[in-house]
Structure 1
Amino acid sequence: MASGWARDGAVQDQIDASIEDEVARARSRLGSGESAMTCDECGGDIPEARRKALPGIRLCVGCQSALEEQETTSNGINRRGSKDSQLR
């Protein structure tokens, strides 16, 4: 695919680099080490099954869910926003 001044394969290299970055980011979020017995956020007990399933876990299910919901709402990008606003 010709793309002006870019060398052949540059687009695929960029795609590969983006994928590698996302995999590295996801791996960095995985816990490791010993899990906490109580939640760092609310102080509630963390069930043994959760501690065994997720090494290094520090939050109970409720606090983890709230954290993930907050992350998804604050990091969400409406890529169609500008396009939609132009159509109105």
Structure 2
Amino acid sequence: MATGWAREGAVQEQIDATIADAVAHARQQLHQGASLSHCAHCDEPIARARQVALPGVRLCVDCQTREDEKRAHSSGYNRRGSKDSQLR
């Protein structure tokens, strides 16, 4: 594959690095510690089934949904100088 000035294998290394960054970010988002009995944002009770399913959970379903929506709008991985990230 012709890559211009990039050395052979640079594209795959970029892809691998992007995936490794995404995995590291996902691991950082995992819950840790004991689950809360009430939501840290709205103080509503967190269902016992949710506490068991997600050890370390801190938010109720509604608040977690809102947090996930906020992250979805603001997330964007830097593709380490790829054209896609430069065009955004």
TM-score over 0.5 for the pair: yes
Percentage of identical aligned residues: 53
Following TM superposition, by how much is the alpha carbon of 1:73 offset from its aligned partner in structure 2, in angstroms? 2.8
| Gap runs ≥5 in structure 2 | 77-83
Aligned counterpart, 2:4? 4
| Gap runs ≥5 in structure 1 | 83-88
For 2:68, give the aligned amino acid. Answer: E
**Aligned pairs, how many?**
78
Q: Give the alignment's TM-score, normalised by structure 2.
A: 0.77
RMSD after superposition = 1.9
The SS at the match of 2:39 is: coil
Change (3 A) 1:24 1:75: closer
More helix by share: 1
The SS at the match of 2:66 is: helix
Matching of residue 25 in structure 1 with residue 25 in structure 2? yes
Aligned counterpart, 1:86? none
Matching of residue 35 in structure 1 with residue 58 in structure 2? no
**Which one has a bigger Cα radius of gyration?**
1
Aligned counterpart, 1:14? 14
Following TM superposition, by how much is the alpha carbon of 1:72 offset from its aligned partner in structure 2, in angstroms? 1.8
Distance in 2, Cα, partners of 1:46 & 1:60: 5
